[in-house]
Amino acid sequence: MTIEITHHLTDALLMAYSAGSLPEAFSLTVATHISMCDECRARLGAFDALGGALLEKDEAAMADDSLAVTMARIRAGGVTARDRPAPPVRGVFPAPLRDYVGGDLGAVRWRPIGMGVKQAILPTAKEATARLLYIPAGAAVPDHGHRGTELTLVLQGAFLDAAARFGPGDIEVAGEDVEHMPVADIGADCICLAATDAPLRFRALMPRLAQPFLRI
Amino acid sequence: MRVKGRWTKRRVMDTTVASTGAKTENEDWVACMALVRDAGDEVAFARLFGHFAPRVKAFLMRSGADAALAEEVAQDVMATLWRKSHLFDPTRASVATWIFTIARNRRIDALRRAKRPEPEDLPWGPEPEPDQTEALMMQQESEKLGLALATLPEKQRVLIEKAYFGDLSHSEIAEETGLPLGTIKSRIRLALDRLRHAMK
Ligand SMILES: [Zn+2]
């Protein structure tokens, strides 16, 4: 993709994604950013290479008949077709996200959460939550702080938060202490993929009690 | 030797490499992969198996698998290497790196029963004719990274190993080692800085 991306993944996130230790919702967000960002794809290559270099360091003896058993498995599997992965379909959502939505933007089942903002929770393991957010141009996502980490990846439009502007492909990595209020850019409605590992705490709009029901 | 297909040119390359020094181990594994892919060469596969299967098994055991499960998954990883040999791209990874990614994904399936979504494939996909010079450079870079890793201070290397093989987040490492989270983060950052410096 030829979009200009200025906000990238951190080393810590790339390393954890390479090591395979991120919760599914975070992996989905990281994989979606990498699908849009050649720079982070190359950085991930370096972290995978580090995994490869570490793999070389340690050995555990295999069973005596191990190779024979493996060859038997391979023969039993027969000749497999040497398919190459199908070329990706173009759309608003990169392939990993389309897998979770069950299609592109048109397939999202939005639920209103107030002030014109809509969300759709994606089906991931419970340790963290991934959701799509739809913020009308110029509108704000309700003011919230959080206990854990929040990743927000822009898919379409742009939002402004603190001093920075986040456009398509940009990812905001917000930690524990950040109180923030992303506001969609006035130009167009903003669609983001957000992942959190702890429930958000909305300040202004919603009573706390509503949170478990909305799964925010 | 009967080598067919897109890496045949490597024979020509080999003489160039031979004049400047021995073929590195990484390049040797790349050649084995080509034999497996193009000729279903069981001798080449046995060599890859002899070297990598015990390493994959150790990786799985350090991640918490018992010996029997680690043996089973290591065999499965090596069978995948055979079946997917056509997808290995020597301009993008060393054989060790490629095997690491297969082993990591199998570990997530087998041990965590979780999912790890993959990025979209590059629109141009794996090259049918990988560039020989690029492939050679990638293999030499990987070798260099291995050497740089070996020179890291013990304290830093241990944490990197835990992050990759222990399947632990930074805060879980903090819990396990009793080190403050800040210390862990800064040691890992120092280790990455050192590696980057060595790779310049
Ligand atoms: Zn990036």
In this predicted model, what pLDDT tens digit does every residue of B103-158 receive, in sequence order? 999 998 887 777 899 998 875 555 666 788 888 888 888 889 999 999 999 999 99
Closest CA of chain B from A26, distance in Å: 9
Question: Which of A53, A71, A84 lies nearest to residue B96, judging by beta carbons?
Answer: A53
Count Cβ–Cβ pairs < 8 Å, chain A vs chain B. Answer: 180
Which pTM value belongs to this model? 0.86
Taking all residues of chain B, what is their mean pLDDT, rounded to a whole number? 83
State the distance from the centre of ligand 1 to the C-alpha of A172, rounded, in angstroms.
11
State the distance from the centre of ligand 1 to the C-alpha of A26, rounded, in angstroms.
15
For residue B167, which residues of chain A lie inside 8 Å, CB to CB?
Answer: 19-21
CA distance B52 to B60: 12
pLDDT band at B8 (very low <50, low <70, confident <90, very high): very low
In 3-state terms, what secondary structure has residue A2? Answer: coil
- Counted residue by residue, chain A has a size of 216
Percent share of chain B, pLDDT over 90: 43
Q: Which residue has the tokens 């949170």?
A: A211
Considering the segment(s) A1-84+93-216 as one domain, its CATH architecture is Sandwich (2.60)
Q: How many CA atoms lie within 13 A of A29 on its CB side?
A: 33
| Predicted ipTM of the assembly | 0.86
Nearest CA to B159 out of A16, A197, A127 is that of: A16
Residue ranges of domains in chain A: 1-84+93-216
How would you class A18 by CB atoms within 10 Å of its CB: exposed for 0-12, middle for 13-18, buried for 19 or more? buried
Nearest CA to A22 out of A195, A152, A154 is that of: A195
Other C-beta atoms lying within 10 Å of the C-beta of residue A209? 7
Q: What pLDDT sits at residue A118?
A: 92
Closest CA of chain B from A15, distance in Å: 8
Residue of A nearest to B57 (CA): A60
Which of A55, A59, A171, A193 to mutate: most B Cβ within 10 Å?
Answer: A55
Taking all residues of chain A, what is their mean pLDDT, rounded to a whole number? 84
Stronger pLDDT, A21 or A80, i.e. the higher one? A21
| Torsions phi, psi for B7 (to 5 deg) | -105, 15
For residue A19, which residues of chain B lie inside 8 Å, CB to CB?
Answer: 104, 163-164, 167
CA distance A28 to A85: 19
List the domains of chain B with CATH numbers.
Answer: 23-114+131-147 (1.10.1740.10), 151-200 (1.10.10.10)
Test B53 with A66 for CB contact under 8 angstroms.
yes
Q: What pLDDT sits at residue A88?
A: 67
pLDDT band at B21 (very low <50, low <70, confident <90, very high): low
Stronger pLDDT, A10 or A181, i.e. the higher one? A10
Average pLDDT over residues A36-44: 92
Residues 6+ apart with CB under 8 A from B145: A49, A50, A53, B195, B198, B199
State the distance from the centre of ligand 1 to the C-alpha of B198, rounded, in angstroms.
23
Q: What pLDDT sits at residue B112?
A: 73
Q: What pLDDT sits at residue B34?
A: 93
A1-12 residue pLDDT tens: 457 899 999 998
Residues 6+ apart with CB under 8 A from A206: A113, A114, A142, A214, A216
Closest CA of chain B from A116, distance in Å: 30
Whether pLDDT at B4 is above 90: no
State the distance from the centre of ligand 1 to the C-alpha of A44, rounded, in angstroms.
10
Closest CA of chain B from A40, distance in Å: 11
| Torsions phi, psi for B130 (to 5 deg) | -60, 140
Stronger pLDDT, B94 or B176, i.e. the higher one? B94
Q: What pLDDT sits at residue A122?
A: 94
Q: What pLDDT sits at residue A187?
A: 81
For residue B185, which residues of chain A lie inside 8 Å, CB to CB?
Answer: 12
Beta bridge partners of A112: A118
Residues 6+ apart with CB under 8 A from B167: A19, A20, A21, B63, B64, B107, B111, B112
Nearest CA to A29 out of A174, A173, A151, A199 is that of: A151
Other C-beta atoms lying within 10 Å of the C-beta of residue A188? 13
CA angle B177, B182, B183 (to 5 degrees): 55
Test B75 with A73 for CB contact under 8 angstroms.
yes
Residue of A nearest to B184 (CA): A12
